[in-house]
Amino acid sequence: MRAVRPDRPVGVITRGTTGANRLRRMDRFLTHRGAALLRRPGPPPLVVDLGYGAAATTTVELRRHLAAVRADVEVVGVEIDPARVADALPHADPPGLTFVRGGFDLGALARRPVLVRAANVLRQYDEAEVEGSWRLLQDRLAPGGLILEGTCDEIGRRATWVLLDEQGPRSLTISLAFAGFALPSDVAERLPKALIHRNIPGERVHAYLAALDAAWRNTAPLAPYGRRQRFLATCAALRERGWPVLDGPHRWRLGEVSVRWEAVAPGGVAA
C-alpha cells in the first residue's frame, strides 16, 4: 500500500466524486445480504462506509437504508482526507452516524464492523494494490462480516461489486437499470479494479460477459414483454448453461445478477 508511516491511515486521497442516490443499488444489496448480520442479538452493529468522498450524501443514505433493518445500526463514514471529514461532521448524528479520518486499515475504529462498503475507491488504485487492500479490510471484520467493494457510473445506473468475507472474495454482482444498457456487457467499463483489466479473451470474466450478452440476444423474442422479463429469462438461461448464478428471480427482477467468484476470478483461462 502507498502509505508507509505507522501514524498515517493506509491509502491515498482519491477524486471523491459522489451524488445523491448514486450507490442505491449497492445499498439495496447490502440491506438484503447483510440483514442477518444486522439483526444478530447484541450491541448495535457497526457498519463502515469507506472513502465516502467529497460529500457525506451517500453515507447518510446508507444509514437510512440500513436503519430500516436495524434501527440502532451505527454507521461510520471513513475518509483519508481530513478536510472531507470536517465537511461531513455537520451531518453526524451520534451514535447512529459519525465520521472519522482513516484508511483501509480502519485503525480509527474501536470495534470491528459487520459490514464494509468501499465504493469507487479502488478504481483509482493500481490493480496490484487490490489484494492488499482487501486483506486489510478482511483483517478488521467482525466474525461473519462482509465487504462490498465495487464501482458504478456517475448516476448509479450501471454498477458492479465483489462481495468478500473473512476468507476472500465470494461473488461478483452486476446491477443494471433496465433502460441503461444495450447489452449487459456495457457494464464492463465499471468492473471492479480486480477485473476491469481482465476483460480480454482467455480470461473468465470476458467469457462470462460474452455468455451474458449471448443469453440476452437469445431472449430477444421476449422484448415485447419488457426488459425486466427479458432479463429474468437471460439469468435463467445462464444458469441452465452451467454458470454458477446465485439467488433467483427475486433479485434478477431488480436488474441484478450475481455469480460465484471462481467463475470470473482473474488469472485463469475460461472453460
Residue 57 CA, chain-centre distance (Å), reads 17
Specify the pLDDT at position 2.
42
Specify the pLDDT at position 3.
40
Cell (9 digits) for 155: 448516476
In the sheet that holds 256-260, the strands lie side by side as 97-101, 74-79, 46-50, 115-119, 146-152, 158-164, 169-176, 256-260
Reported residue count of the chain is 271
pLDDT tens digits for 151-172? 999 999 999 999 999 999 999 9
Specify the pLDDT at position 13.
62
Backbone φ, ψ for residue 151 (5° rounding): -140, 150
DSSP-based three-state secondary structure for 74: strand
Looking from the CA of 63 toward its CB, the CA atoms found within 13 Å total 23
Please identify, in words, the CATH class of the domain defined by 1-166: alpha beta
pLDDT tens digits for 142-152? 999 999 999 99
pTM of the model: 0.92
- State the Cα–Cα distance between residues 243 and 194, nearest whole angstrom: 20
pLDDT tens digits for 69-98? 999 999 999 999 999 999 999 999 999 999
pLDDT tens digits for 9-21? 666 666 556 778 8
Closest to 173 in 3D by CA, of 142, 149, 204, 144: 149
Output the average pLDDT for the chain: 93
Instruction: Give the residue extent of every domain in the chain.
Output: 1-166, 177-264
Map 198-218 to HEC letters. Answer: CCCCCEHHHHHHHHHHHHHHH
Share of residues in the chain with pLDDT > 90 (%): 87
Specify the pLDDT at position 108.
87
